[in-house]
Structure 1
Amino acid sequence: MSEHLGRRAEQYVESLPMGLKSHANCKTKGSILQTYVDCHPVAKSLLPALQEVTGLDARDVLPNAWVQTVHVNLFELMIADALDSDEAFLLAARRSNEKLLSTRTYRAIVFVASPAFLIRTATARWSHFHRGAPLVGRASGNTARLTLGFPSHLHPPLIVREKANVFAVAVEAAGGRLTRLEVTAEPTEGRVDMEWE
């Protein structure tokens, strides 16, 4: 590996069935990787280590390119290691998501939709940015459950919590005030249960 990988990143690689070669059919849009690079101050300093470990030069990734999800998750965990705190990472990720949803492209969608509508249509939007890890969103009234299926250990618990952040930010941007957010992470599934008013 690399001396640049911290505890979270090392544990992630060790948990994968074939290390960084695992789950090659699981892909994430380059725009998501670029969001991390652009929004996390520490991220740019980690790009050489990411390239050393994965061979991926994130500076050359186009927004519409598909990147291995394992590499994107590793980069996120490298950021968490650099911040030395799960909570600091989740807060930084939340701010990134808030910034992303406030752009003209997303603002038009989020601000005219209800939270329940956003959850019900999350599956279609998710598939525009992720392959190999399907999401199912169900909403009823002011409650919702999102279930993310994935191959063994693709998304560790911290990454599942980060994904929950995305949906929490979307619900809030659509006018909902979260009253409950519960996240369950298992080796092949993540669940997000939420309520809002």
Structure 2
Amino acid sequence: MFEKVLIANRGEIALRVIRACKELGIRTLAVYSDADVDSLHVQLADEAICIGAAPSSESYLKIDRIMSAAEVGDVDAIHPGYGFLAENAHFAEVVESCKIKFIGPPSHVIQKMGDKDLARARARRSGVPVTPGSDGVVETDKDAVKVAKKIGYPLMIKAVAGGGGRGMRAAHNETSLIAGFHSARLEADKAFGNPSVYIEKLILNPHHIEFQIVADRH
């Protein structure tokens, strides 16, 4: 079992991890931005280290600052929560290279499935049906319009590194498509440090069936 876990997240997500660690008798190290200095997760963790300014791009997405906090705090594991760097294969790889346990999938698994566009491509190669959409990342709004003409509206613009509903925009016509393309990229860049998006057909009133698979070693 771990002695001390760094929680590379904030808010309710971090609180859930802190509560679980307390139940298991594991010490916790919270990281926080300037804006979160008085947040509950900072107060409830056993230790806390500031890792930067309020924008997530200057704090929760800064791998070097999180790893510096891990070294200062002498942790033996890092829990990414979800969102931010949770599906960032490079982050998991850096954690592994520092001989710290990454509480989540191995970096090579995240590399294959964390990027939504690559995951779609892998599913297609495996014969798994996927929602009609772009063949890869959509680089410009002109490319987005071409995709729309090919598969028709309504569409969903989605961040390849997305999670938690961030970097997603519905589009029902060309005007909302172009506006949504740029706003989704901007939000994705701020939330995940990666502005790349892809497009797929928007399914209206779907039945959502989700499989939660727990398959790490912890």
TM-score (norm 2): 0.28
* Structure ranking higher on relative contact order (CA contacts 8 Å, 6+ apart): 1
Structure having the higher Rg: 2
Relative to its length, the structure with more helix (as a share) is: 1
